Amino acid sequence: AAIYEKWREEYKAKAIEDYSAVIQLNPKLTSAYVKRGDIFLELERYDESIEDFSEAMALDRNEADAYLG
Residue 68 pLDDT > 80: no
Query: What is the secondary structure of 48-62 as a DSSP string?
Result: HHHHHHHHHHHH-TT
pLDDT in tens, 43-63: 999 999 999 999 999 999 887
Beta strands, E only, 18-69: none
pLDDT in tens, 1-13: 788 888 888 999 9
Q: Per the confidence metrics, is the pTM higher than 0.75?
A: yes
pLDDT at res. 69:
67
High-pLDDT (> 90) share of the chain, %: 74
Q: At what angle do helices 30-42 and 46-59 cross, to 10 degrees?
A: 160
